[in-house]
Amino acid sequence: MKHFFQPINFHEHPGAFYGHIVLGLAVMFGVLGILQAVPRQYRKWIIAVFTFLGGLFYVAEFFLPAHSGKNSLNKYDDVVANIFVVVGAYAIGLGVISLLQLHVRKVVRTAPGWGNSAALIISFLGMTVFGLLNEYAPHRLLFHGRLFSQGIRVTNSSVFDFLFTGGIANFGSAIFSMIAFFIASAAYRAFRVRSLESSLLMTAALIIMLGSVGFGTILTNWLPLGNDPKSEFWANFRIENIAQWLLLQVNTPAQRGILFGITLGELAMALRLWLSLERGSYFDKEV
Amino acid sequence: MDRTIWHKMQSIDSRYIYAALIVAILIPLFCSKLVYLNIPSKPSIDFYNTIEHIASTEPNGLVIVDGQWSSSSRGENKWQTQAIVTHLMMRHVHFATLSFDTQNHTLTNEIVTALAAKYHYVYGVDYIDWGYRPFQAFTAMLKGLDTDIPGTVVHDSSGKPISSFPIMKGVRDIKDISAIIEISPTSSIDGWLGLVQGVNNTPLLYAPTAISAPKYYTYLDSGQISGMLIGVKGAGDYESLIHQPSFGTRATGALSFVYALIILLVVIGNIGHLKLRAMARTETEK
């Protein structure tokens, strides 16, 4: 049982690999079937009980006294973590089905923006197919010939590399880097001397920016570096040292305060979820 | 009311700002002959010194390099990873890579494989790839590293038992780890801080994106994080500390130009704002 939920190497144990997939699907449909068969008023209770047991394991495992760094529940850590991975994989599956349903419907109805939906479906299927082929038949030849007087050899893995390294990786970087343009424009429009608070915020931001780069360092480079006790005092006024002081002496206490608040909020939220006390979207709906 | 120069100074068209920004970014990136003044920050120097200390005091120590970045933050995290791995290889520090992000395993491997050929690093002897784990297994994996590393990691990325590699000889638990390096744009360092670092006070080094760094000065101040490379500036700092200038150095130059441009724009906007406010006050007094 302890090893049942562990990942299986397909290349070493193909039989066990497929066996586990079939068994996993059977269990999934079995569980969904049972949940469907159970009267509605009991479904929430079943989910609440499993949520409580899942949380209880981690609470007990964390608080039980340990001897030589381990307690009696530590040995089940891997099993429970693997169960979470498996349940998480089902959640991804449900997400994929829901996403595809939405976008296929948009394409079929040629709703506004259907081209984007088509691009999503094609990209999704392309990455899925070549991702799997790259794992299980990476060297299978797809094309071998000449193109523009160059000899070309296309395999499953080269198509996957093209899609992953040449596609996803670069698209991801490009989208993220666009934030820089919006931040620059937003900084220009937001940093205005409107009140004492906004002036303080703007001054702090400008000092941190100047202190982070060579351009700022040049402005106070005439001040000593503070390598000897005589010049130590004047070195405090170098822009990078003022920026460092702001980050450590002003930013840090504020961050600590925020951190305490967040942690208390997280604790309250975790208790509400663990004990199924959470109300609001989805939690009040009939399942 | 007519739009005066003061109004225009407050509302420059975004397109002009974007165009100026592109120029400010591209000039330093492509003019390799430009020289930039870059004084490494204290957190970067602390990061460097920690690795230097390990290299001189623990020649057979093992460092964990955990990557959680993907292509979206590649502009910062890739160059940090490259500078860090270069330093580890230059000082012949053994290390194990680990990924909890689907893309990161491939991206980190590309960097490590290229540098391993340059520095004659041998797989299984000088470095090892502990592979990719889904993020759902993060907590359990970290807790397992505290007490039983071979039992928790089990296999390397190719499926071979990690205990069969010479680099893993004598590595049992967290006490046998010299340092942990976390390269991540997310708050995953919280897991290392809460579950691993305190067990044996293992030096924890962090390479976040610039935007996530301020939150972690708290842990730098408390000594729980021994050093921090902040964004691409951190990568540039590190390249200058190890005397291996690369993209990080040029990108730090670009950052310098961009910050200068933003500051200039803020100043222009504020001049317009203050002038108009003064004019409005004079009008009211009349």
Domain of residue B53, CATH code: 3.40.50
* Closest-approach residue (CA) in chain A for B136: A85
- Summarize the confidence of residues B186-198 as an average pLDDT: 93
**Residue A187: which of B41, B155, B266 has the nearest Cβ?**
B266
- Summarize the confidence of residues A100-121 as an average pLDDT: 95
- Summarize the confidence of residues B55-84 as an average pLDDT: 94
Same domain, B217 and B262: no
Contact between residue B80 and residue B43 where contact means Cβ atoms under 8 Å apart: no
Same domain, B84 and B200: yes
Can you tell me the distance from the alpha carbon of A70 to that of A55, in angstroms, rounded to the nearest whole number? 19
Residue A145: CB atoms within 10 Å: 9
- Summarize the confidence of residues A22-46 as an average pLDDT: 87
Which of A72, A171, A213, A252 should we substitute to test contact with B (largest number of B Cβ atoms within 10 Å)? A213
Task: Indicate the number of domains in chain B.
Answer: 2
* Closest-approach residue (CA) in chain A for B222: A252
What pLDDT, in 10s, does the model give residues A208-227? 999 888 888 888 988 988 88
- Summarize the confidence of residues A38-61 as an average pLDDT: 88
Same domain, B112 and B235: yes
Same domain, B148 and B266: no
What pLDDT, in 10s, does the model give residues B205-227? 999 999 999 999 999 989 999 99
| pLDDT value at residue A278 | 80
Spell out which residues of chain B touch residue A180, defining contact as CB-CB under 8 Å: 21, 25, 258
| pLDDT value at residue A1 | 56
Q: What is the pTM of this model?
A: 0.82
**Residue A256: which of B42, B136, B218 has the nearest Cβ?**
B218
| pLDDT value at residue B105 | 93
Same domain, B51 and B158: yes
Query: Per-residue pLDDT for A152 more than 70?
Result: yes
Residue A146, both tokens: 């000449």
Instruction: Give pairs for B192-199: CB < 8 Å, separation 24+.
Output: B192/B66, B192/B142, B193/B219, B193/B224, B193/B225, B195/B139, B195/B142, B195/B143, B195/B146, B196/B142, B196/B145, B196/B146, B197/B224, B198/B224, B199/A69, B199/B146, B199/B174
- Summarize the confidence of residues A157-178 as an average pLDDT: 88
Query: Per-residue pLDDT for B260 more than 60?
Result: yes
- Summarize the confidence of residues B275-286 as an average pLDDT: 89
Same domain, B202 and B270: no
Same domain, B180 and B78: yes
> In this structure, which amino acid lies at residue A237?
F
Query: Per-residue pLDDT for A16 more than 70?
Result: yes
Query: Per-residue pLDDT for B261 more than 60?
Result: yes
Same domain, B241 and B266: no
Query: CB distance from A128 to chain B under 8 Å?
Result: no
Q: Cβ separation of B103 and A169 shorter than 8 Å?
A: yes
The complex's ipTM works out to: 0.82
Same domain, B270 and B192: no
Spell out which residues of chain A touch residue B270, defining contact as CB-CB under 8 Å: 191-193, 202
Same domain, B226 and B266: no
Q: Which residues 233-252 of A are in CB contact (within 8 Å) with B?
A: 240, 244, 247-248, 251-252
Spell out which residues of chain A touch residue B218, defining contact as CB-CB under 8 Å: 252, 255-256, 259
* Closest-approach residue (CA) in chain B for A195: B274
Query: CB distance from A214 to chain B under 8 Å?
Result: yes
Q: In terms of residue numbers, what domain contains B170?
A: 42-245
Q: Using pLDDT thresholds of 50, 70 and 90, give the confidence band for residue A2.
A: low
- Provide the CA B85 distance to its chain's centre, in angstroms: 12
A3-17, A113-127, A251-265, B141-155: range with lowest mean pLDDT: A3-17
Same domain, B110 and B88: yes
Query: CB distance from A64 to chain B under 8 Å?
Result: no
Same domain, B223 and B270: no
Which of B9, B218, B220, B230 should we substitute to test contact with A (largest number of A Cβ atoms within 10 Å)? B218
Q: Nearest C-alpha of chain B: how many angstroms from A215?
A: 5
Handedness of CA A195, A196, A198, A203 (dihedral sign): positive
Q: What percent of chain B has pLDDT over 90?
A: 73
